[in-house]
Every structure is written in C-alpha cells, then in structure tokens.
Structure 1
C-alpha cells in the first residue's frame, strides 16, 4: 500500500473512532460540554477546514481508482477472449494472474477511498442530529422544570441554540452602533469646545491688545 493510501486508511480509522465517540452513551452535561467545545474551538474549526481540502484529494483518488478498476476489467475481458486454444491459454496464464492482482489492488483502493468519503458524510449528518437531540433534550428539561436546563441561566444550553447565537450577534451589533454614536457625540462635543475656545481666545485678544503686543 502506497503512502497516501496508508494515510487514507489512517483517516478511515480516525473517522470510525470519532463516530463511536459520537454515538457512545455518556452523561448529558458531559456530552453538552464536549459539543460546545467542538462547535466553538478555533482549532477544531481550522481542522475541519483542512479536512475539507483533504476530502477533495480523497475524492480525486476515488475517481482514479474507479477508472483503474474499469480499465482492468476491460483488460481482463480482452484476455478471456484471446485465451482460445491450449497453448495460447498457457501463455496468457501469467498475464491473467498479473491483471487479477492489479484488479484486486484497484478494487481495494476504490473501497478504501469510497468508504472514507461515505463515512465523512455520515459523521457530518450524525453530528448535526446529535446537536438537534441535545437542543430538544434541553428544552424538554426546561419544560419539566429543571433549573439547570433554564436557557436564561445555563450558558452551555444557550450556546447550542442557534436563536441565541443570532440574538447575541444582533446584540453585539447594537452595542457597536451605540459605541459609534457615542464616539460621534464625543467628536461633536470636542469640535464645539474647540470653537468656543477659539471664540474666547479671539475676544481675549480684542479686549487685551497690550498682552498680545507684549508677547
């Protein structure tokens, strides 16, 4: 197995381990904290971006392996047609074994890359479904009167709610607009003070011309 297919196999094993981590039963608070860390960590976000690029290369390998399987299958069919006669069949025997070996490796690579891509889609969908389940369970706990599930008191619960994120973004925008207005007011106030200072300085120079000459 070449180096890049060995890396694809390692990625497949990592995906299987992550999938088991997503579906393994664990306490609600622990699962909620874990998903909060995954959704908010900048390191995880960078890792997900890198994985998207990696899966593009794996898709290219998958297309190439499918193409190789097709070509080997065509070559195998051609050998089967040319194997008429005992002598000819004996001569083609070694070639046929070599083609079958290439067919095996091509199919192995196709299955490896295909399952890796398919499992990546399953992981993404499973992650979104678990998030939905956590939000529903949080709301269910809140309706049952659990104070720990109150979204107004529980920061972890609010972080899982997309409505809370939208409200937080809107609140930050309002605060930025408020600060901008305060800055504009300070600028206008400083300009008014500067004008008053210039007017007072001009009046002082008019009423005290001697001080100006002395200076």
Structure 2
C-alpha cells in the first residue's frame, strides 16, 4: 500500500473514532463538553482549508482508483481465458484486487466524511434544542445554583427567626429581672 493510501486509511480510522464517539448514547453533561472539544480544532480557518484539500485529494484518489479498476478489468477481459492459471492472468487479477481495495478504501472514506459531518451537525442541533428547552421550562435552574440559593435563603431565614426568638426571650427575662430589682 502506498503512502497516500496509508494516509487515507489513517483518515478513515480517525473518522470511525469520531463517528463512534458522536453516536454513543451519552448524557448531555458528558456529550456537550465532548462535542465542544471535538469541534474546537475544526473552527480554525487553516484547518478547514486543510480538510477541504484533503477531501479533494481523497476524491481524486477515488476517481483514479475507479479509472484504474476499469482499465484492469479491460485487460482481464483481453487475457486469454483458456490459460486460466497463467502468470499474466494472475498478475492482472492481483492488480484488479489492489484497484478494488483502493476504490473501496477511498470511497468509504469519502462517504464516512459526509456521515460524520451530518452526524456532528445533528448532535450540535440536538444540544442547542435541549438548551433552549431547559431555558424555556419554568423549573430551569442554572446548574443547581438557584436551588442552592433557595436552600441557603431558607436556612438563613430559619436562623434569623431563631435569633429573633432568642432576643425576645432574653428581653422578657431582662424585663422580669428588672421587676424583681
């Protein structure tokens, strides 16, 4: 396998990993930071241009592999079928195998690129809709802060009421002691 097909295979493995991460049924608390972490590098303009160039290169390799497969198929039909186990026929069959392998490798890489982009957009849209829904719902609390603030207010009011009751009791006791004196 030549170096550029090894690079295409690396891209394919990376896309498989990204798609697997995006397709996992994770809770929103984990999925949102993970999705934001995955998108952060792709927001850079230089990286976007590099990705587009890489996709164009893979598309060219796909077209080349389809063309090569067609050429090898024509050669295979031209080889004398009577000598089915000749060295020439085996060599042509071998080239056909490599041409098919390269075509499938580049084709699935292009296909998975579009699938990953679409899946990522769906996940991002889902997270945005969840955020809008949570903000619109009346029992929305910003990561538990409002709930904690309400609990602290209740605790503070209880302490104030307790302190006022203690002050009232001490004032009554002081008034009783004044009457005795």
Match of 1:135 in 2: 128
Gaps of 5+ in 1: 150-215
Q: TM-score, normalised by structure 2?
A: 0.70
Q: How does 1:110-129 map to 2 (within 5 A)?
A: 110-129=103-122
Change (3 A) 1:38 1:10: closer
Contact 2:22 2:35 in 1 (8 A): no
Q: TM-score, normalised by structure 1?
A: 0.60
Distance 1:28 1:6 in 2: 36
What is the CA-CA distance between 1:42 and the residue it aligns to? 6.0
Distance 2:41 2:62 in 1: 30
What is the CA-CA distance between 1:117 and the residue it aligns to? 0.6
Gaps of 5+ in 2: 144-181
Q: Deviations over 1:18-71 (max 9, x none)?
A: 1111112333133223334455x4675233331111111111110000000001
Over aligned residues, Cα RMSD in angstroms?
2.1
Q: Deviations over 1:177-212 (max 9, x none)?
A: xxxxxxxxxxxxxxxxxxxxxxxxxxxxxxxxxxxx
Distance 2:60 2:27 in 1: 40
Q: How does 1:14-93 map to 2 (within 5 A)?
A: 14-39=14-39, 41=40, 44-45=43-44, 46-79=46-79, 82-84=80-82, 89=83, 93=86
Distance 2:14 2:87 in 1: 39
- Higher relative contact order (CA closer than 8 Å, sequence separation 6+): 2
Distance 2:127 2:9 in 1: 31
Contact 1:38 1:44 in 2 (8 A): no
What is the CA-CA distance between 1:131 and the residue it aligns to? 1.0
What is the CA-CA distance between 1:120 and the residue it aligns to? 0.3
